[in-house]
Amino acid sequence: MTRSSSFRIGDEVAVGSRKAPEAFRSIGEAAAELGLASHVLRFWETRFSALRPMKRPDGRRFYRPEDMELLRRLKYLLHERGLTIRGALQELEGEGSVEGPDTALEPATDGAGVSVKELQDAVRLAVERGDFRLEADRADARVRLESLLEELSGLKARLDKVRNSG
């Protein structure tokens, strides 16, 4: 009997390691399928009580299909929508609408209509452009950075308001 093993090539699961959707997955297989590191799945287990993979007596984890679905939803909420762990918990507990990765959903925005992901991308772009280098055109860089700071401050105020209301 041959055992199917998965290994990573970049972010892809190697060909020949595909399992049926109803098959159980080891932590390595689950992580590879989701494009995450194994330690992220173990960390999520400590924060999300609904995530409880089967564990063998030797401690090895096996993720059932329902565990994989929850992991996909968590990845969507945390990585794609940019929610905090607390925000994802609220979504999962029904305080917000739980949307899956297949659902077209507008990202959460602050008052200026900018999502957390858009702000992250804007800061990443500013770094790539060299806005933080001294030799950059200071006036132009300063205007862009002040705009980013204003947007981030608005987002922080919104997050503080949500934290204080709950």
- Reading the block at residue 163, the tokens are 């934290």
Is residue 145 within 8 A of residue 126, CB to CB? The reply is yes
SS3 content of the chain, % helix, strand, coil (to 5): 50, 10, 40
Question: Most confidently modeled of 17-21, 69-73, 87-91?
Answer: 69-73
∠ at Cα 37 (34, 40), nearest 5°? 95
pLDDT for position 116 = 66
pTM here is 0.50
What integer best gives the mean pLDDT of the chain? 74
Phi-psi bin for 53: left (phi > 0), alpha (psi -120 to 50), beta? beta
∠ at Cα 22 (19, 28), nearest 5°? 50
- Give the type of residue at 161: K
Is residue 122 within 8 A of residue 152, CB to CB? The reply is no
Q: How many angstroms separate the most distant Cα atoms in the chain?
A: 68
More confident residue, 94 or 120: 94
Least confidently predicted of 18-22, 60-64, 85-89, 126-130: 126-130
Strand order in the sheet with 54-55: 25-26, 61-63, 54-55
Decide: helix, strand or coil at residue 109: strand
The CATH architecture that domain 8-92 belongs to is Orthogonal Bundle (1.10)
| Residue 61: strand pairing partners | 55
pLDDT for position 106 = 41
More confident residue, 8 or 82: 82
